[in-house]
């Protein structure tokens, strides 16, 4: 029998004591009844002994018998009531010992609704939290190792080229001016690449630790993307990529951080060039609603497998795959895209099929804090 209606174990103990006392009184009454029957029988038969005299059982022996039966009955009855709880307490103690030894896999069955059930529930939650913390630590350690490996490779490669070309130009005094200028140009491009990698890594660290605060201003998103497309024209020409930019209006004004928006769409366009150059076409399409602007960057390169789409924005995603050294990069570009979109209370999605790989960025026209305050502050 379980006293499940009682949620306080102290109340249950009090109830167990009362029940045990009542049972003890009943047993005591039964013992007194049988003793009186025995006394009557011994009187009629004339039996005499140390315990039984002519007036019946001697009082001291009667008291000893009643006390003995009372104690045994109370203890036994109380133990029968509380033994399940004692076993449950031992189970909890064993589980605490297992947790202290590093076993976080097996949970404790939650029985009833008293303090011990609450303790078991809290131990299960604590065990779950510890496992999650350990998993986060493991992922953080893995991420740190990926960062070190990625930085070591991506910085060492252009740095090795820079040192090699500079050393060769320095040692070859007989180089003509055109050849020297050619290799200096190569060194310059490698140095720019090194700068880009460094900026990307530092930018990601700031975003990851929420150290980067957005400075919103009114900006024309169409003009910003057109400017970025112009800056990337050499890459488009080099890979013979045709670029189309469709937008229904002459201007789309949003409240955003211009530098972060440039990084967001720059990363998406660079990604489209790196992985979609075989398709020879990139499409940028923009649509505006009453509160949002939706920008799609489409490339027609290799289709991303469906089972990898959920991982595409994960940091160091490419470092965890069979990474192509031809495209380079730290594997942070799309992770930065997602973080910048979220900083602006927006969202970025991706889908990929035979119709193309589409990165869709949803951004609000106004930032929430701006809507409640004075919008004119940044419209001048």
CA–CA distance, 354 with 243 (Å, rounded to integer)? 19
Which residues lie closer than 8 Å to 77 by C-beta, 6 or more apart? 19, 20, 23, 24
As given in the structure block, the two tokens for residue 59 are 């009082």
Exposed e or buried b per residue across 84-122, where buried means at least 16 C-beta atoms within 10 angstroms of its C-beta:
ebeebeeeeeebeeeeeeeebeeebeeebebebbebbee
pLDDT tens-digit readout, 304-333: 888 888 778 876 655 344 444 444 555 677
> Residue 160: what pLDDT?
82
> Residue 242: what pLDDT?
94
| Element (DSSP H or E) covering residue 227 | helix 221-231
As given in the structure block, the two tokens for residue 185 are 């140009």
Nearest to 217 by CA among 372, 80, 367: 367
Cβ atoms of 189 and 181 within 8 Å: the answer is no
Residuewise pLDDT in 10s, the chain (380 residues):
455 555 677 778 888 899 999 999 999 899 888 888 887 777 777 777 767 766 667 788 888 888 998 999 999 998 888 888 888 888 888 888 888 877 777 788 887 777 888 888 888 888 888 888 888 888 777 766 666 666 666 677 778 878 888 888 888 878 788 888 888 888 887 887 777 777 767 766 666 666 567 788 999 999 999 999 998 898 899 889 999 999 988 899 999 999 889 989 998 998 899 888 888 999 999 999 889 999 999 999 888 888 888 778 876 655 344 444 444 555 677 888 998 999 899 999 999 998 899 999 999 999 886 444 443 444 33
CA–CA distance, 264 with 181 (Å, rounded to integer)? 34
DSSP conformational letter for 220: E
As given in the structure block, the two tokens for residue 43 are 């009187």
> Residue 360: what pLDDT?
96
> Residue 310: what pLDDT?
79
Report field, pTM of the whole predicted structure over 0.75: no
Cβ atoms of 302 and 321 within 8 Å: the answer is no
Q: Which residue has the tokens 């005499």?
A: 48
> Residue 281: what pLDDT?
93
């Amino acid at each position: 029998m379980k006293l499940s209606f009682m949620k306080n174990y102290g109340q249950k103990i009090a109830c167990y004591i009362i029940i045990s006392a009542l049972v003890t009184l009943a047993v005591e009454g039964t013992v007194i009844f049988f003793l009186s029957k025995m006394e009557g029988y011994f009187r009629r038969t004339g039996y005499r002994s140390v315990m039984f005299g002519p007036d019946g059982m001697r009082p001291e022996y009667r008291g000893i018998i009643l006390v003995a039966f009372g104690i045994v009955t109370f203890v036994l009855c109380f133990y029968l009531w509380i033994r399940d709880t004692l076993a449950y307490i031992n189970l909890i103690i064993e589980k605490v010992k297992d947790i202290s030894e590093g076993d976080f896999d097996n949970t404790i069955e939650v029985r009833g609704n008293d303090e011990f059930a609450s303790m078991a529930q809290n131990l299960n939650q604590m065990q779950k939290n510890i496992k999650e913390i350990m998993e986060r630590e493991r992922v953080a350690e893995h991420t740190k190792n990926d960062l070190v490996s990625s930085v070591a490779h991506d910085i060492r490669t252009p740095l090795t080229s820079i040192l090699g070309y500079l050393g060769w130009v320095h040692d070859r005094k007989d180089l003509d001016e055109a050849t020297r200028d050619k290799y200096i140009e190569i060194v310059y491009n490698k140095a720019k690449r090194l700068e880009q990698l460094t900026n990307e890594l530092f930018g990601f660290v700031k975003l990851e630790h929420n150290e980067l605060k957005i400075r919103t201003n009114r900006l024309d998103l169409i003009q910003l993307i057109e400017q970025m497309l112009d800056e990337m024209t050499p890459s488009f020409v080099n890979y013979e990529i045709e670029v189309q930019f469709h937008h229904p209006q002459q201007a789309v004004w949003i409240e955003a951080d211009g530098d972060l928006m440039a990084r967001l769409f720059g990363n998406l366009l660079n990604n489209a060039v790196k992985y979609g150059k075989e398709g020879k076409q990139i499409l940028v399409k923009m649509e505006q609603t009453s509160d949002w602007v939706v920008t799609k960057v489409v490339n027609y390169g290799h289709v991303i497998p469906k089972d990898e789409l959920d991982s595409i924005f994960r940091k160091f995603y490419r470092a965890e795959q069979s990474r192509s050294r031809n495209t380079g990069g730290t594997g942070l570009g799309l992770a930065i895209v997602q973080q910048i979109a979220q900083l602006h209370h927006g969202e970025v999605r991706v889908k990929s099929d035979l119709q193309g790989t589409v990165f869709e960025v949803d951004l609000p026209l106004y930032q929430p804090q701006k809507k409640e305050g004075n919008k004119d502050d940044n419209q001048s």
